Amino acid sequence: MPILGLLGTLLVAGIFWYVRNRGAVGTVEDVVELAGEARRAPRRIRFKRQANTHPVQQCEHPDELVAAYAAAFMEMDGLPSKNVQQASVASLGRLYNTTLKDAEELLAYGRWLMAECGTPDQAISRLGKRLYKLDGSGSFQNLMSIISDITAASGQLSARQKDALGQIKSDFKLQ
């Protein structure tokens, strides 16, 4: 009889362990999938690295730079919430008349561009200058629209995000 009790306890412990770790495996799979998406984004956009040229300087499309700027702005104070990410994807889709999937890919490419800059602060500086050089003031309205959607979703601006807005003013020569 004690052997049956021991086997029952082991069975219950095994089921408990399986159920508990199944959730952790799902989380790890989500992280691996997200990393794969970020890694594949430049290939989908047909990005080709050139020697001695930063990827931001190679970018010739203002919508990609705006997406990268949005990614950097969102991540100024750590990882953004799901709410903020969804707001930025919806805003990109609405501004550039794309599907939700295309807007997600655009944001994934933007995150990659931001990561190539190092930190979000460095990305803000580099992206703003490149965007102004490439498109002048043409993308300013789109950029401010996405930033206002991100701000509305997050609730308020942080000190670093306020500094980024100051950087936008200087990059677009509004001061």
pLDDT digits (tens, 9 = 90+) for 31-88: 556 556 655 555 555 556 666 787 788 888 899 999 999 999 999 888 888 899 999 9
First to last CA, the chain: 84
Q: How far apart are CA 34 and CA 36, in angstroms?
A: 5
Query: Residue 80, exposed/middle/buried by CB under 10 A (0-12, 13-18, 19+)?
Result: buried
Contacts (Cβ under 8 Å, ≥6 apart) of 83: 153, 154
User: 115: buried, middle or exposed (CB in 10 Å: 19+, 13-18, 0-12)?
Assistant: middle
Distance from C-alpha of 154 to C-alpha of 148, rounded to nearest angstrom: 10
Give the dihedral sign, CA 106/119/84/34.
positive
Query: Does the structure show a pLDDT above 90 at 123?
Result: yes
